[in-house]
């Protein structure tokens, strides 16, 4: 656990000191929710059925954007290569980075839930919905973290990352949107969608943890 916590503390400290990356992800998410709310309000009277889709597309885009941003500095300063030389398992480094990204993203997402509560006039802070958000976030953060840390030297990485990640995340998007809809009472039964979400999250976390050491091997 030692190295994991060290990497986690280092990443959170860096994220706090160099706030611009995460702040722009948060600003991006906010502007996305506002734009959706405004645009859909023009088109339809009842925007509530659209809320799950609004939330999850915002979360995914903000997550991919933030993952690329947070890793940019590491690549530019060459600190990532230095960290890989350290005599700790690569899995521990990955777990630390994953946890740091997860914490930062959850903070952004809760802010968006608060904003959506105001804009859409729906109670979003139920235990069930918070559970869906946390599980879904773990599921996509593991893949975005893996794919963003790997392509350090690849040109045009920031544009490439969403193109790579989003098709892989389609099952998560389906599960999360439907589960959120069910939790809001828009359709009945969260159980099958929670199962899908859980299976995907388990799979993506396992695959990322197993493949990270192979991927960063020099």
Partner 1 sequence: MNLSSLVGTVLARADQWRWTVMPPLVGVAMMAMIVGALVAAPREIVQGEVQRLMYIHVPSAVIMYAAFFVTAFSSVMLLWKRDMRWDAIARASATVGVFLCAMVLLSGAIWGKPTWGVYWSWDARLTSTLILFLIYTAYLLARSVAGPLDEQAARYAAVFAIIGVVDIPIIQMSVRWWRTLHPQPTVFTPDPALPNEMLLVLLIGFVAVFALAAWLIMLQSDTERASQRVTALRAEVDHREMA
Q: Which listed residue (143, 177, 182, 194) binds partner 1 by CB under 8 A?
A: 143
Q: Which listed residue (45, 155, 185, 188) binds partner 1 by CB under 8 A?
A: 155
- Stretch 78-137 residues interacting with partner 1 (CB under 8 A): none
Residue 196 sits in the site that holds partner 1 (CB under 8 A): yes
- Say which DSSP state 50 is in: G
Binding segment for partner 1 (CB under 8 A), chosen from 37-45, 71-79, 128-136, 147-155, is: 147-155
Report how far residue 164's alpha carbon sits from residue 35's, in angstroms, rounded to the nearest whole number: 25
How many helices and strands, by DSSP H and E, does the chain display?
A: 9, 0
- The token pair at 2 is 């030692």
Residue 164 sits in the site that holds partner 1 (CB under 8 A): yes
Using CB atoms within 10 A of its CB, is residue 48 exposed (0-12), middle (13-18) or buried (19+)? middle
Q: Which is nearer to partner 1, 3 or 213 (CB)?
A: 213
- What 3-state DSSP class applies to 5? helix
Q: Which is nearer to partner 1, 115 or 150 (CB)?
A: 150
Q: Which listed residue (106, 150, 186, 209) binds partner 1 by CB under 8 A?
A: 150
Closest by CA to 32, choosing from 48, 1, 56, 8, is 56
- What 3-state DSSP class applies to 11? helix
Q: Which listed residue (1, 42, 85, 214) binds partner 1 by CB under 8 A?
A: 214
Q: Which residues bind partner 1 (CB under 8 A)?
A: 143, 146-147, 150-151, 153-156, 160, 163-164, 166-168, 170-171, 174-175, 192, 196, 199-200, 203, 207, 211, 214-215, 217-218
């Amino acid at each position: 656990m030692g190295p994991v916590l060290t990497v986690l503390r280092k990443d959170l400290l860096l994220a706090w000191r160099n706030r611009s990356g995460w702040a722009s992800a948060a600003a991006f998410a906010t502007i996305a929710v506002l734009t959706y709310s405004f645009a859909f309000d023009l088109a339809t009277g009842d925007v509530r059925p659209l809320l799950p889709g609004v939330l999850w597309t915002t979360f995914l885009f903000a997550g991919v954007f933030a993952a690329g941003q947070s890793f940019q500095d590491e690549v530019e300063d060459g600190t990532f290569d230095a960290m890989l030389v350290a005599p700790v398992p690569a899995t521990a480094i990955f777990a630390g980075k994953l946890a740091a990204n997860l914490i930062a993203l959850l903070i952004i997402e809760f802010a968006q839930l608060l904003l959506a509560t105001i804009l859409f006039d729906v109670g979003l802070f139920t235990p069930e919905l918070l559970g869906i958000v946390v599980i879904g976030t773990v599921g996509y953060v593991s893949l975005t973290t893996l794919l963003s840390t790997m392509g350090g030297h690849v040109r045009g990485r920031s544009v490439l990352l969403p193109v790579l990640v989003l098709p892989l995340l389609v099952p998560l998007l389906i599960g999360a949107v439907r589960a959120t809809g069910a939790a809001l009472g828009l359709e009945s039964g969260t159980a099958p969608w929670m199962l899908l979400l859980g299976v995907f999250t388990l799979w993506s976390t396992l695959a990322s943890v197993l493949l990270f050491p192979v991927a960063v091997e020099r």
